[in-house]
Amino acid sequence: MGATVPTSEEPPKPTIFSKIIDKTIPAKLIYEDEHCVAFHDANPQAPVHFLLVPRKIITGLSAVKDEDKMLLGHMMTVVDKVAREQRLDSGYRVVINNGPQGCQSVYHLHLHVLGGRQLGWPPC
110 included as an active-site residue: yes
How many other C-beta atoms are found inside a 10 Å radius of the C-beta of residue 71?
Answer: 16
Residue of 120 and 3 predicted with greater confidence: 120
Q: Is the pTM of this model over 0.85?
A: yes
Residue 85: pLDDT over 90: yes
Give Rg (Cα) of the chain: 14
**Which pLDDT band holds residue 31 (cuts at 50, 70, 90)?**
very high
Can you give the pLDDT at residue 104?
95
The residue from 35, 49, 74, 110 that is catalytic is 110
Can you give the pLDDT at residue 2?
54
Structural domains in the chain plus CATH codes? 16-115 (3.30.428.10)
| Percent helix, strand and coil across the chain, each to the nearest 5 | 25, 20, 55
